[in-house]
Structure 1
Amino acid sequence: MEPEHIAPPPRPRMHKGAFVVATLVTGLVVALIIVGSRGLRDFDSALIGYAVASLFAIAVLLYRYVLWILRPPTGRYFRAGWSSFFSWQNFRRFTTLVPRALWTDIFAQTFILKRSLYRWVMHMSLFWGVLLSLFVTIPLTFGWLHFTLEDVDTYRIWFFGLPLFTFPVEAGIGFAFFHALDITAFLLMVGVVMALWRRLRDSGLLATQRFGFDMVPLVLLAAIAITGLALTASSMWWGGRFYWFISLTHQVTVVAWFLTLPFGKFFHIIQRPASIGVTLYQKVNQNREHSEQQTVGVCKRCGEELPSQQFIRDLRAVLQDLDQNYDLGAHDNLHEYCPHCKRVLRGQAYYAMMKKRFV
């Protein structure tokens, strides 16, 4: 069941392509910072650390993402997903598929709710806490968004150098603007506490988790949320005491989180939207094969219907690209089984090899 060859490393051409894309997009972001901040006039120099860390994260995230989609497995399904998406025939037939997938896979993540309410609340708190925080901080950090005092109790909001509207400081909208990061910090703390509690008590996670990959991002998020709330407490209730130290600590933790973002667990936030393309690809192929009354593959062990014959063909092609062979002998192959049965077969193989040492 083990592959005959280890998958080859990414080719230099792939690295070069990823580097070019990351460089061009990061350069574009720098240009947008200059334009959006009106030649850096609206850029707050006190936020330079956040800005540099953000640019680093953008560059490395793009590099890793492009490298990821250029690999044979993801590249094949990535192209197939976009091909299905831009098909007018598919759009007419599956008009609501992408919006529903966006809701179930990205925004509401209802697939996690099927596993556990606890895990769903945890994921939702972390996901929206991080996302909403970035939506607020990135425009502020890059100088795209800023506020000016119009009179004693009225502010004007500016975006990309354009005046938008004024709002009273004491009104609900003013409170929402100036305390948005406090709200997201509370949301983050809910998710972080739930995640840490689960990771410290679940024996399965304790056996498999890695401190740097799984725990450090959560600890950094907790530090970001706590120091962010402490900044508000210092300015509102402590008369500005400890503000400099707290702000420096907050900046260090935010920069550290940005630097670890491309290499840690939260990189899957960037990868996750690609799953919508896979969903569309599988649905389109399944529907076509059913409508054309083609023979649909089933799992050899449990009889469950496999995604589609096209999926199986693509899987075989991917394994060939990677120079891997999962031949089980007797005209049997691992890709002819459903995901559940693959795990069962793998466990049986490990047990047959390890015997009593398996447990």
Structure 2
Amino acid sequence: MEYYSGLSFLIMIVAGFATVILFFGGLLIQMKKWGYGSTGYGKDGQGGSIVGFLKLLLSQIFDKKHEQGVLTTLVMDILIQRRILKRSVIRWVMHITIFWGWIMLFVFSMLIFIVELLHKYGGMFGDTITHGRPIVESFPVIVTLNEVFGYVLLIGVLIAIARRLFITEVRNGTTFYDVFLTGGLFIIVITGFISEWMREGYFLEQYSAIAPPAALFHVVISLLFCVAMIPFTKYIHIIATPLSILVNGGGE
């Protein structure tokens, strides 16, 4: 089995697991750092202990002193991000579209990956999958949702770029690091659309010969930017911010 990018199933498996190992390795490094600095309610620091940090984290998340429950915090302050909404509608639209766009594209990718594993090694979905075509095309609902959330993510990235270009306060506070991360996310999204347009023969049909390399480029930078690099860059706030909100009980 080969992917549209030209990579074999085995190579994709290896690349996927390597990416996951980098991600969790980086996450463990971050948790160790957090463990050195984590204290709570008069308790001693955790001395870099990951287990100690996780225990303290859970104890603070479920602390009965919080004014609202964990579920309320999870839904209202993390999934809906009401605190950002109260401060700025534009910022909220930017954050919510990037957040949900990234999350849902990741979920769909994982679902198709699991289906491929079950199909190849478990013999499942034999009556559903059309042979000779990418497996995802056998699930038109996922194809449609994948495209929808791709546009959702694109909207968020474009808002982020526009804010850094046209809002003086944001522009003055922009660093090369911000440009690199925002630009990288934009490249990921746009190369995904371009490679798809080439493959489907839309207005870029004259470039169909280079569609597989374009798809390969999209796959590689997606694995790097959207998974492997998260613990090592500013993207770690995707994980750190929700944890901080949960620890503090959400609300205002």
TM-score by length of 1: 0.52
What secondary structure sits across from 1:134 in the alignment? helix
Does 1:278 pair with 2:247? yes
User: What is the CA–CA distance in structure 2 between the aligned matches of 1:85 and 1:72, rounded to whole Å?
Assistant: 13
The answer to whether the Cα contact below 8 Å between 1:126 and 1:188 also exists between their aligned partners in 2 is yes
State the match for 2:23 in structure 1.
Answer: 57
The answer to whether the Cα contact below 8 Å between 2:62 and 2:70 also exists between their aligned partners in 1 is no
Q: Structure 1 residue 159: deviation in Å?
A: 10
The answer to whether the Cα contact below 8 Å between 1:106 and 1:273 also exists between their aligned partners in 2 is yes
Residues 1:85 and 1:250: Cα distance change in structure 2 (over 3 Å): closer
Equivalent AA in structure 2 for residue 187 of structure 1: V
Alignment gaps of 5+ in structure 2: 1-7, 47-52, 131-137
Larger Rg: 1
Does 1:241 pair with 2:205? no
User: What is the CA–CA distance in structure 1 between the aligned matches of 2:149 and 2:231, rounded to whole Å?
Assistant: 22
User: What is the CA–CA distance in structure 2 between the aligned matches of 1:132 and 1:274, rounded to whole Å?
Assistant: 20
User: What is the CA–CA distance in structure 2 between the aligned matches of 1:123 and 1:216, rounded to whole Å?
Assistant: 18
User: What is the CA–CA distance in structure 2 between the aligned matches of 1:275 and 1:164, rounded to whole Å?
Assistant: 41
Measured against aligned partners, the alpha-carbon deviations of 1:246-266 in whole angstroms (never above 9, x if no partner) come to 122213322441443223221
Does 1:263 pair with 2:232? yes
User: What is the CA–CA distance in structure 2 between the aligned matches of 1:67 and 1:160, rounded to whole Å?
Assistant: 39
Measured against aligned partners, the alpha-carbon deviations of 1:305-327 in whole angstroms (never above 9, x if no partner) come to xx9xxxxxxxxxxxxxxxxxxxx
Measured against aligned partners, the alpha-carbon deviations of 1:14-37 in whole angstroms (never above 9, x if no partner) come to xxxxxxxxxxxxxxxxxxxxxxxx
User: What is the CA–CA distance in structure 2 between the aligned matches of 1:130 and 1:160, rounded to whole Å?
Assistant: 28
Equivalent position to 2:114, from 118, 129, 144: 144
Measured against aligned partners, the alpha-carbon deviations of 1:277-303 in whole angstroms (never above 9, x if no partner) come to 4234x99xxxxxxxxxxxxxxxxxxxx
Does 1:121 pair with 2:93? yes
Residues 1:55 and 1:277: Cα distance change in structure 2 (over 3 Å): same
Larger relative contact order (CA 8 Å, sep ≥ 6): 2
What secondary structure sits across from 2:116 in the alignment? strand
State the match for 2:219 in structure 1.
Answer: 251
178-187 or 104-113, which deviates more: 178-187
What secondary structure sits across from 1:242 in the alignment? helix
Equivalent position to 2:191, from 215, 227, 237: 227
CA RMSD of aligned residues (A): 3.7
Residues 1:255 and 1:278: Cα distance change in structure 2 (over 3 Å): closer
Alignment gaps of 5+ in structure 1: 1-42, 148-156, 284-306, 308-359
Q: Structure 1 residue 181: deviation in Å?
A: 3.1
Does 1:82 pair with 2:21? no
Residues 1:46 and 1:82: Cα distance change in structure 2 (over 3 Å): closer
TM-score by length of 2: 0.72
State the match for 1:348 in structure 2.
Answer: none
Between Structure 1 and Structure 2, the one with more strand by share is 1
Q: Percent identity?
A: 23
Residues 1:70 and 1:180: Cα distance change in structure 2 (over 3 Å): farther
Count of residue correspondences: 223
Between Structure 1 and Structure 2, the one with more helix by share is 2
Q: Give the 5 Å matches for 1:171-320.
A: 174-212=139-177, 214-237=178-201, 238=205, 240-257=208-225, 258-280=227-249
Equivalent AA in structure 1 for residue 219 of structure 2: Q
The answer to whether the Cα contact below 8 Å between 1:144 and 1:161 also exists between their aligned partners in 2 is no
Q: Structure 1 residue 50: deviation in Å?
A: 4.4
What secondary structure sits across from 1:209 in the alignment? coil
Equivalent AA in structure 2 for residue 273 of structure 1: P
